[in-house]
Amino acid sequence: MLRQMLYDANYDKELEDERLACKALCQEYNSLPIKDIEARHAFIKKILGKTGEQVHIEPDFWCDYGYLISVGENFYANHGLIILDAGTVTFGDNVFIAPSCGFHTSGHPIDYERRNRGLEYARPIVVGNNVWFGAGVQVMPGVTIGDNVVIGGGSIVVKDIPSNSVAVGNPCRVIRAITDDDKT
């Protein structure tokens, strides 16, 4: 799985046990009292592999393994974040994620014989610093998003997005560069 080769996601007992343990932690996290922010901040660090000090994820949050997710400093995700982390998912500093976004490292073979056997692959996702994702964005396997990027709501990101750009659409594409004029 971590070598980005086909692996058995459906019938590998060790992977199934790891996913179930992580989902139990996610379920517990999602049931913590909303007003107990300190407990939520401490608990999310039990799920994720690496975090900065300032990490805030609104419930409901779900992931597959947790330990393959790394988030930088000043990370905020609104309700409904899903991270399918069979591959690594790395977020830089100052990343803001609107509601109902997903980051999906897993993919499946096109041919049905291998897909029906439960085989899949995982490709890492990398997100730079100072990135904002609008509501409903979905990021697909193997995508790298540079620094200082805005991804417009509803976008499906299937290819890399360069730094200092605004990108939107399905498929997501760069529509313009971010310039000093955006400060006014």
Catalytic pick among 41, 56, 104, 108: 108
User: Among this protein's residues, is 56 annotated catalytic?
Assistant: no
The continuous run of DSSP H or E covering 81 comes out as strand 81-84
CA 118 to mean position of chain CA atoms: 22
Contacts (Cβ under 8 Å, ≥6 apart) of 9: 1, 15, 86, 106, 118, 119, 120
- For the beta sheet containing 144-145, the strands, ordered from the edge strand earlier in sequence to the opposite edge, are 69-71, 89-91, 125-127, 144-145
Q: Where are the alpha helices (H) located in the chain, listed in sequence order?
A: 13-30, 37-47, 112-116
Backbone angles phi, psi at 43, to 5 degrees: -70, -35
Positions marked catalytic: 108
